[in-house]
């Protein structure tokens, strides 16, 4: 921990120096522009939640290759992971990324953005600079944001149901929504969980060992300092650091691959570096510290349960000393899980626990390549064959019924 504290100012100074010599590195292309640049039609939609957050949804309504704008096009919602945003479904381009593959298979593709990320940084009642803006967690993203997105899409498309696919935190919020508000099960035609994350008893990532003991239990000083703040904001400093370290031709390319991915990854054999470099332009995407703290709490408690505020506040909020568990037996929507052996965050043993608790799970698919890791679901060269083709195939199966 000491090392980190000394390292941080050094890193900041380094990034500042680099920034001074090379201004305006970041030429951010928003999701809708990126989609259009590949020839597809794109739309941006604004969804306001009950508690005032303004969420941006991007949409590929049809495929220009099919010219299917007047045909029946079942809606699919894709939801990104922690620190991420809708760009994660696009960065490997039309031949590989799930959003395009689904559009080309005849679907109406919607890309969600959770509260707090670069596309959803507004609230009609609360200023972005007020700590209350950051007083949320993936519990609210699941129970409020995803619910609002689903209702909006079904209303807009006049469909009764949609297909859902999420990566990492995008799977957590699905589990949270369907267990806490089980009436939403009826709105899901099928669900696809990429690198599903619910239990964290066995994570190999350095992040658990390093930060778990500090913030994983409620009431500690670190916990109080960090609660309700923005975690790794998307700003010029952080972004320049990532971009300078990881941009193409950067002398730090290998340090970047090892360092930047250290937390999430075990190796980078499958990575598409071009795709990764595109992603870095709009990442990290902004999130509340509570999201990270909540995950670390799970790594300490080994339970999949709500945010732990400490005994006193838990009693007020939940009427019990410990936070209540998410009841996975309430999830009845047809759900497919796609996980991998080399996932250092949400690894095979934790997936075993999830599968055991998830009584109605339709499929437990394990990617048959040992090196495949957590981020590979988003940036691997071989993710089309190993994962995305399967998802399109499963969804086609539900539509053919």
Ligand X SMILES: *[C@@H]1O[C@H](CO)[C@@H](O)[C@H](O)[C@H]1NC(C)=O
Among all residues, which ones are annotated catalytic?
168, 343, 374
Instruction: State the burial class of residue 319 (Cβ atoms within 10 Å of its Cβ: 0-12, 13-18, 19+).
Output: exposed
CB of 100 to ligand X, least distance (A): 10
Are 123 and 114 within 8 A, CB to CB? no
Are 388 and 396 within 8 A, CB to CB? no
Q: Which helix (H) or strand (E) holds 44?
A: strand 43-48
CB of 368 to ligand X, least distance (A): 18
Query: Which residue, 91 or 290, has its beta carbon nearer to ligand X?
Result: 91
Single out the residue of 33, 43, 95, 370 in contact with ligand X (rule: CB under 6 A): 95
Query: Which residue, 80 or 115, has its beta carbon nearer to ligand X?
Result: 80
Contact pattern for ligand X over residues 356 through 385, marking x by CB under 6 A: -------------------------x----
CB of 94 to ligand X, least distance (A): 8
Single out the residue of 93, 106, 213, 233 in contact with ligand X (rule: CB under 6 A): 93
The residues near 189 (Cβ < 8 Å, ≥ 6 apart) are 74, 161, 162, 163, 334, 398
The residues near 397 (Cβ < 8 Å, ≥ 6 apart) are none
Q: Which stretch binds ligand X (CB under 6 A): 93-101, 130-138, 174-182, 314-322?
A: 93-101
Residue 314, classed as helix, strand or coil, is helix
Residue 59, classed as helix, strand or coil, is strand
Paired tokens of 81: 């992971």
The residues near 138 (Cβ < 8 Å, ≥ 6 apart) are 82, 114, 169, 172, 173, 176, 291, 294
In this structure, are strands 335-339 and 188-194 parallel, antiparallel, or unpaired? parallel
CB of 272 to ligand X, least distance (A): 4
91 binds ligand X (CB under 6 A): yes
Residue 339, classed as helix, strand or coil, is strand
Q: With DSSP H G I counted as helix, E B as strand and the rest as coil, what are the percentages for the chain, rounded to 5?
A: 45, 15, 40
| Nearest residue to 192 (alpha-carbon basis) of 261, 98, 255 | 98
Scanning residues 262 to 291, which ones bind ligand X (CB under 6 A)?
Answer: 272, 274-275, 278
Query: Which residue, 93 or 182, has its beta carbon nearer to ligand X?
Result: 93
Query: Which residue, 21 or 248, has its beta carbon nearer to ligand X?
Result: 248
Query: Which residue, 114 or 278, has its beta carbon nearer to ligand X?
Result: 278
Scanning residues 24 to 43, which ones bind ligand X (CB under 6 A)?
Answer: none
| Interatomic CA distance for residues 5 and 348, integer angstroms | 33
Query: Which residue, 63 or 297, has its beta carbon nearer to ligand X?
Result: 63
Q: Which stretch binds ligand X (CB under 6 A): 92-100, 194-202, 236-244, 257-265?
A: 92-100
User: Which of 88-110 are b and which e, b meaning 16 or more Cβ less than 10 Å from the residue's Cβ?
Assistant: bbbbbebebbbbbbbbbbbbbbb
| Interatomic CA distance for residues 295 and 235, integer angstroms | 23
CB of 245 to ligand X, least distance (A): 19
The answer, yes or no, to whether the previous bond of 284 is cis (omega within 30 of 0) is yes
CB of 334 to ligand X, least distance (A): 28
Site residues for ligand X per CB under 6 A: 91-93, 95-96, 272, 274-275, 278, 381
């Amino acid at each position: 921990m000491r090392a980190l504290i000394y390292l941080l100012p050094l890193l900041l100074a380094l990034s500042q120096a680099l920034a001074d010599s090379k201004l305006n590195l970041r030429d951010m292309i928003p999701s809708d522009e990126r989609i259009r640049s590949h020839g597809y039609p794109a739309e941006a939609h604004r969804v306001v939640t009950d508690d005032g957050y303004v969420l941006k949804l991007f949409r590929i309504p049809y495929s220009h290759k099919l010219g299917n704008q007047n045909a029946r096009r079942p809606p699919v919602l894709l939801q990104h992971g922690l620190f991420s945003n809708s760009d994660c479904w696009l960065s490997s381009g039309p031949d590989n990324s799930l959003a395009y593959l689904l559009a080309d298979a005849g679907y109406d593709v919607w890309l969600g953005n959770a509260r707090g990320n670069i596309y959803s940084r507004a609230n009609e009642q609360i200023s972005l600079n007020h700590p209350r803006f950051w007083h949320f967690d993936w519990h609210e993203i699941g129970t409020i944001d995803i619910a609002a997105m689903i209702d909006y899409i079904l209303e807009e498309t006049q469909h009764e149901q949609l297909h859902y696919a999420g990566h990492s935190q995008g799977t957590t919020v699905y589990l949270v929504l369907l267990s806490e508000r089980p009436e939403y099960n009826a709105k899901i035609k099928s669900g696809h969980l990429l690198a599903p994350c619910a239990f964290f008893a066995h994570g190999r990532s350095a992040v658990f060992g390093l930060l778990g003991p500090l913030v994983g239990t409620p009431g500690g000083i670190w916990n109080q300092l960090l609660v309700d703040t923005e975690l790794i904001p998307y700003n010029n400093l952080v972004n320049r650091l990532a971009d300078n370290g990881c941009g193409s031709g950067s002398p730090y390319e290998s340090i970047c691959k090892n360092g930047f991915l250290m937390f999430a990854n075990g190796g980078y054999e499958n990575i598409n570096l071009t795709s990764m470099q595109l992603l870095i332009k709009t990442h990290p995407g902004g999130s509340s510290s509570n999201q990270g703290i909540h995950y670390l709490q799970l790594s300490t408690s080994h339970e999949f349960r709500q945010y732990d505020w400490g005994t006193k506040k838990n009693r007020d909020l939940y009427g019990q000393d410990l936070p209540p568990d998410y009841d996975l037996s309430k999830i009845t929507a047809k759900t497919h899980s796609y996980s991998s052996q080399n996932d250092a965050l949400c690894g095979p043993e934790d997936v075993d626990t999830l599968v055991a608790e998830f009584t109605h799970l339709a499929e437990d698919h394990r990617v048959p390549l040992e090196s495949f890791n957590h981020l590979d679901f988003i940036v691997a060269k071989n993710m089309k064959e190993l994962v995305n083709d399967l998802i399109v195939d499963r969804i086609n199966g539900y539509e053919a019924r």
